[in-house]
Amino acid sequence: MKLTPVVLTQHATVSITEAKEFNLAGKDIDEVEDISCCIELRKLNLSNNRLSDSQSTDGLRRLTSLTWLNLAHNELDQGEFLRDLTELTVLNLSNNRLLQLPAWLVSCTKLKALIVNNNKLVRVENVGKMTDLNTLVISHNEFEQLPTLLRNLKLIKLSATHNALRTIPDYGHLTQLKELRLGNNRIASVPEAIASCQALEILDLGANLISGWSDIVALSKMTKLVNLNLKGNKLCEQADYRAKLLQFIPTLRILDGERFDTKFLERRQKTKQFKEFAAEQIKQNKPFNWFRTKEEREQVRKEREQAKKELEQTEGSTGEGASKRSVAETEEDRSTNAPPPRKKTKRDEKRDKPRKEGRDQGEGKAKKPRETTDRAQPRNDRGAKHNTSAVMSAVNGSSKGHQTAKKSSGERSRGDKRTNGSK
């Protein structure tokens, strides 16, 4: 299939003149026509296609704005068509048929990651001038030695596994190197110069020819090395290999792919205990549904529904049996999931003691009846009481008036008698 602007339109969510990324991996593309209309294109993935020669990829020449290009798993044996792509920062040419790196790479001064593993490269040239390069992957090739020009770079990661290397070059100037992978080669010893790579954290020397402790003396000076792989060397066959190596390099946390630092082991032990506990609960049909598979959860649900129906038929349609069973299941679930009781401390005993004594003393005393007030009484009672008071006050008032009237009449009669006597 030819890659044309029309094909790009079918894979674009916006206008191809505005698109910044295309993923065309595995589209059976064998030729790229002029797609220079993609003026905003920055990232292009053409891996797992059938691109083979410079003519079939000539359409890529004018994509001068590309910064990320993946041409892995094709049939390329040259790379001249990429000469004008000077803005590239990441280039993946792995799993092709390259015999040597193209000379034009010198002009890619902005390149930061170059991936050319699984080719047929014998030597690396024109790489020493890529001053911004920090990642170089040249594994699965046919290198017998690495160029010393690499020490002029600012490499952070260098991978050259599965080659025919016999020695490690003097890379003491790679002060920023953090990851070095040289496994599956023919290296017999580690040079003293590697001690200058003080930033190195990951070192892979697995499946080489290292046989004695004297071959790795330089590693004892690595103050930041946390991950070391020596698996597949004769040195690993010694009885005290692991214990002695941990004393040799105390900063290690991962050895031969196995992590052994204390915090990690504690977390792994707790995870193992939980899995064992959960498995036991599942065997006992306890409620650990999140640990069961979907089929197991469905089976448990059907069994419970069937048991519920049978119980309802036995107990009748009132649902008393089902309610009792659900309550029993709830109590069982609570007792199953409840944490073990915490052992009481002296502080807890002191805190609970006065409360208990107060309760004991209060049990012997009789509670006084609560005095009721007018507000506490019912509305009708309050009204009746009010009416009674009114009647009584009226009666008292009338009697007092009667007595006053009687007294005044007596006084008048006595006055009349006095008047008659004086006459």
Question: pLDDT digit string (tens) for 271-303?
Answer: 888 888 877 777 776 655 555 677 877 888 898
Each residue of 299-316: pLDDT tens digit? 888 988 998 888 888 876
> How far apart are alpha carbons 336 and 289 in whole angstroms?
13
- Band of pLDDT at residue 78, cut at 50, 70 and 90: confident
Question: Which pLDDT score is estimated for 164?
Answer: 95
Mean pLDDT of the chain: 80
Residue type, 397: G
> How far apart are alpha carbons 365 and 358 in whole angstroms?
11
Question: Which pLDDT score is estimated for 285?
Answer: 66
Question: Which pLDDT score is estimated for 267?
Answer: 86
Question: Which pLDDT score is estimated for 185?
Answer: 97
When mean pLDDT is compared across 137-141, 328-332, 384-388, the lowest value belongs to: 384-388
Question: Which pLDDT score is estimated for 290?
Answer: 56
- Band of pLDDT at residue 155, cut at 50, 70 and 90: very high
Question: Which pLDDT score is estimated for 332?
Answer: 54
Question: Which pLDDT score is estimated for 46?
Answer: 96
| Beta-bridge partner residues of 181 | 159, 204
Residues 226 and 251 sit within 8 Å (Cβ to Cβ): yes
The more confidently predicted of residues 408 and 141 is: 141
Question: Which pLDDT score is estimated for 328?
Answer: 55
* Average pLDDT over every residue of 322-336: 54
Question: Which pLDDT score is estimated for 253?
Answer: 93
The more confidently predicted of residues 105 and 382 is: 105
Q: Who contacts 300 (Cβ-Cβ below 8 Å, separation ≥6)? A: 285, 289, 292
- Band of pLDDT at residue 62, cut at 50, 70 and 90: confident
Residue of 223, 181, 170 whose CA lies nearest to 198 = 223
Dihedral pair phi/psi, residue 136, rounded to 5° = -135, 120
Question: Which pLDDT score is estimated for 287?
Answer: 58
Biggest CA pair distance of the chain: 170
**Token code pair at residue 410:** 């007596």
When mean pLDDT is compared across 83-97, 104-118, 352-366, the lowest value belongs to: 352-366
Q: What number of residues does the chain have?
A: 423
> How far apart are alpha carbons 320 and 26 in whole angstroms?
64
Residue 331 has pLDDT above 80, yes or no: no
Residue of 10, 116, 1 whose CA lies nearest to 50 = 1
Q: Is the pTM of this model over 0.75?
A: no
**So where are the chain's domains?**
266-324
- State the sign of the Cα–Cα–Cα–Cα dihedral 257, 261, 263, 267: positive
**DSSP code string of 1-54:** -EE-HHHHHHT-SS-TTT--EEE-TTS---EE---TT-TT--EEE--SS---ST
* Average pLDDT over every residue of 23-43: 93
Question: Which pLDDT score is estimated for 81?
Answer: 77
Question: Which pLDDT score is estimated for 391?
Answer: 44
CB atoms under 10 Å from CB of 47, counted, come to: 18
- Band of pLDDT at residue 189, cut at 50, 70 and 90: very high
Question: Which pLDDT score is estimated for 376?
Answer: 46
Helix orientation angle between 294-315 and 320-337, rounded to the nearest 10 degrees: 140
